[in-house]
């Protein structure tokens, strides 16, 4: 059963059911099952006229190899896309916790969680990455890596406001995250990554003595290089992505989310997945949100989920 991959259905008010169905029609139909609510999935698929056969199961040992199996998690709802908000929060957390348990106890290979509304964490966690790091007792060593075969990017800080970024950038954080990135990248891809790290300010603050670049980022790079991490920089953020063909790095690390995510998505669109490094198991997710503006319109693009499924299948096989 250890080659099993769970897909966590995530936020009910979303495009998640649609991309599950569209992915199921394009992938090899084995070793995949859903953790979510059977009736919600069935009703939502009917609404968008996605006709796939699904089976309700109560254990991973009941997986139906012909149909899409749904490990059923209870949820009260009035209509398919509008479950009670309180119940919905509890439901999404139950699904994540079940996926964590199955992965942590080596009952399955790992899981892919579909998009969630971050309000489920009540400001206690910034997102799924930090929530799972806490459950794995690896808080502070978790790394959010957006990956495709050509390039990966990592934001040092994740879903925080710009005004709070400077306070978070410390030598200890940079070193801890980069050591974790280096270690787990080697484990996944069997090669040491070449890491390019960016400065925070425009033109790296023109090399001013009291800048974040000179006081924090540069000393961190020197210490990391001494410990064997192949890291270069800091580079100015405005030019690092300007010539895609000349990029000789495996991973570009930025100081905040949009510094690396915005140019990466402009270059690669849906051809990327979100991988959490630093956990005790494999966890990935599609690189997009709930897309509530196109719910029920049959317009959702499944490529990122398909890429995540294919990635988890190949790792360690």
| Structure tokens belonging to residue 175 | 């070193």
Q: State the pairing for strand pair 152-155/251-254.
A: parallel
**Closest C-alpha to 263, from 179, 152, 127, 120:** 152
Mark residue 34 as left, alpha or beta (left: phi above 0; alpha: psi -120 to 50; beta: remaining). beta
The pLDDT assigned to 13 comes to: 87
Q: CA-CA distance, 85 to 90, in Å (whole number)?
A: 9
Main-chain phi, psi angles of 258, to 5 degrees: -75, -15
- The mean pLDDT of 203-216, rounded to a whole number, is 90
Count the alpha carbons within 13 Å of 65 in the hemisphere toward its beta carbon: 2
**Closest C-alpha to 312, from 22, 147, 129, 111:** 111
pLDDT band for position 269 (50/70/90)? confident
- The mean pLDDT of 3-29, rounded to a whole number, is 90
Peptide bond into 310 cis (omega under 30): no
Question: Alpha helices, DSSP H only, in 79-169?
Answer: 85-104, 128-135, 165-168
Eight-state DSSP code of residue 256: S
| Structure tokens belonging to residue 203 | 């033109």
The pLDDT assigned to 104 comes to: 96
Radius of gyration of the chain (CA): 20
| Structure tokens belonging to residue 170 | 């410390």
Q: CA-CA distance, 136 to 145, in Å (whole number)?
A: 17
In order of 52, 107, 289, the CA distances from 3 in angstroms are 23, 9, 27
Is domain 1-138+283-317 classified as CATH 1.10.760.10?
no
pLDDT digits 0-9 by tens, 152-188: 999 999 988 999 999 999 999 999 999 999 999 999 9
pLDDT digits 0-9 by tens, 69-120: 999 998 877 666 666 666 788 899 999 999 999 999 999 999 999 999 888 8
Class of 140-278 in CATH: alpha beta
Give the 3-state secondary structure of residue 20: helix
Range(s) for CATH 3.40.718.10 in the chain?
1-138+283-317, 140-278
**Closest C-alpha to 235, from 223, 209, 262, 217:** 217
The pLDDT assigned to 3 comes to: 86
Q: CA-CA distance, 21 to 12, in Å (whole number)?
A: 14
Which sign, positive or negative, has the C-alpha torsion 169, 138, 148, 9?
A: negative
**Closest C-alpha to 218, from 227, 140, 163, 209:** 209
| Structure tokens belonging to residue 316 | 């360690």
Q: Cβ-count burial of 126 within 10 angstroms (0-12 exposed, 13-18 middle, 19+ buried)?
A: middle
The pLDDT assigned to 122 comes to: 85
* Percent share of the chain, pLDDT over 70: 95
Enter the pTM of the model: 0.90
């Amino acid at each position: 059963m250890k080659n099993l991959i769970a897909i966590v259905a995530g936020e009910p008010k979303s495009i998640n059911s649609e991309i599950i169905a569209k992915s199921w029609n394009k992938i090899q139909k084995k070793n995949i099952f859903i953790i979510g609510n059977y009736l919600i999935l069935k009703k939502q698929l009917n609404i968008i006229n996605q006709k796939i056969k699904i089976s309700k199961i109560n254990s991973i040992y009941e997986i139906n190899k012909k149909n899409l199996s749904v490990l059923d998690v209870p949820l009260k709802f009035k209509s398919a896309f509008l479950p009670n908000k309180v119940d919905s929060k509890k439901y999404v957390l139950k699904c994540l916790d079940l996926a964590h348990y199955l992965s942590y106890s080596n009952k399955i290979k790992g899981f892919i969680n579909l998009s969630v509304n971050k309000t489920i964490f009540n400001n206690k966690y910034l997102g799924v990455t930090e929530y799972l790091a806490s459950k794995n007792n690896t808080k502070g060593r978790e790394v959010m890596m957006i990956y495709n075969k050509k390039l990966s990017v990592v934001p040092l800080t994740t879903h925080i406001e710009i005004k709070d970024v400077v306070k978070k950038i410390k030598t200890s954080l940079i070193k801890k995250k980069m050591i974790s990135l280096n270690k787990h990248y080697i484990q996944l891809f069997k090669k040491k990554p070449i890491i390019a790290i960016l400065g925070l300010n425009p033109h790296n603050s023109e090399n001013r003595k009291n800048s974040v670049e000179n006081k924090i980022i540069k000393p961190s790079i020197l210490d990391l290089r001494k410990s064997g991490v192949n890291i270069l920089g800091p580079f100015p953020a405005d030019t690092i992505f300007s010539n895609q063909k000349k990029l000789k790095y495996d991973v570009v690390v930025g100081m905040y989310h949009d510094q690396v995510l915005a140019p990466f998505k402009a270059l690669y669109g849906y051809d990327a997945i979100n991988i959490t490094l630093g956990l005790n198991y494999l966890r990935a997710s599609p690189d997009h949100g709930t897309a509530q503006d196109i719910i029920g319109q049959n317009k959702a693009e499944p490529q990122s989920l398909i890429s995540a499924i294919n990635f988890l299948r190949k790792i360690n096989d």
